[in-house]
Amino acid sequence: MKNFFKSDIPSSEITPRKLFESRRRWVQGGFASLAAMAVPSASAKPRDGKNFPIEFELKKSEFSTAEELTTYSDVTRYNNFYEFGTGKDDPFEQAHRLKTEGWTIQVIGEVHRPQKFDIDQLLRLAPLEERIYRLRCVEAWSMVIPWIGFPLSKLLDAVQPTGNARYVEFISLHDPEQMPGQRTAVLDWPYKEGLRLDEAMNPLTLLTLGLYGEMLPNQNGAPVRVVVPWKYGFKSAKSIVTINLTEHKPATSWNLAGPSEYGFYSNVNPHVSHPRWSQRKERRIGDFLKRDTEMFNGYSKWVADLYRDLDLSKNY
C-alpha cells in the first residue's frame, strides 16, 4: 500500500476553505458502516472523503470559529510532536512508523467504572462533531483546524468519576521503536499532561479522532488525542493510551522539563510572557504579519469563569 506520509502533496492538493467545504458533501452520501470498515492503517491514503469508519453527519458547532482554515498541507506537515523528533517536519517524516491498529485507551484511577475502550467503542460513545478551533503554540504560532471528535466529558461520564477525582492525567504511548524521538532525553517519557477535572469536563475540551474529514493522521496524534483550545498546544496530549483520574495534581512533561517556562495551566495569555519571548503577538501559519494574541485564545466566553479566583500571572 502506498505510504501517504512519505508521499508529496502537490500544490494543487493544498486545500483552501472553498475546496474543504465542498468536500464536506461526502457526509451526506452513503457510507460503509462501522461494522464493515476497519480503522485505516497509518499508510492509508486520506483526503478522499471516505476515511471515517462510521456513518455520521458533521454538524456545525457553536464553538467553531469562522476564521479562514489553515491549509491541510500545513496542518499535517508543520507539527510539534517530539516523540518523532524536535523539527517541525520530523513528525511528517517519521510518523509512518506508528501502528494504530488495535489501539485502546484505558481509563483508570478515581472512577467507579474503569474501562478500556477501543476506537470503535469511542466512535460509538457519542455523536461526532466538527469543530473549527484555533490551535495556539507556545512558540507564538497558530493554526485554524477543523477537528472531528466529541466532548471529553462524554467519556468521563461513562466511567463515572468518584468524589475524590480532582484532576485528569493523559499518558501517551511510549515505544521508542515506533517513536524514534523517544530515544533522546529531550523529555522524560512517556509524555504526560493533565487538566483539572472541571477543565476536562468543559464542553470545549474535545476528545479528537479526526481532522479535515478524515481519521487523524499519525503526525497529528493518531488515533486519539485531546484538543484544549484555550491552552497552548502542548496541553493537547496526542496518541493517548491511558487516562487517569486522580485526587492530586499530576506531574506533566513540559512542566517537569522547564517549570519556569511551562506551567501546569498554560492558558493562552498575552500578558504573561515566556521567559525567552513575548506572547502578545502570534503568527498564523500562512500569514506574513503577526496578529494580537487573544486572552484564552479567544475562548474567554466559555472558560474565563474557571479561573475567576486564580491569579493567572502566578498560575501560568
pLDDT, tens digit, 9 for 90 and up, residues 76-102: 999 999 999 999 999 999 999 999 999
C-alpha cell at 221: 496524534
pLDDT, tens digit, 9 for 90 and up, residues 105-135: 999 999 999 999 999 999 999 999 999 999 9
pLDDT at 165 over 60: yes
Element (H, E) at 173: none
The CA-to-CA distance between both ends of the chain, in Å, stands at: 46
Fold for the domain defined by 4-307: Sulfite Oxidase; Chain A, domain 2 (3.90.420)
pLDDT at 164 over 80: yes
**Which regions of 197-310 does DSSP assign to beta strands (E)?**
206-211, 214-215, 225-227, 240-246, 281-284, 291-292
Between residues 291 and 27, the one the model is more confident about: 291
Q: What is the mean pLDDT of residues 138-153?
A: 97
**Cα–Cα distance, 12 to 72 (Å, whole number):** 11
**Cα–Cα distance, 251 to 270 (Å, whole number):** 25
Which pTM was predicted? 0.84
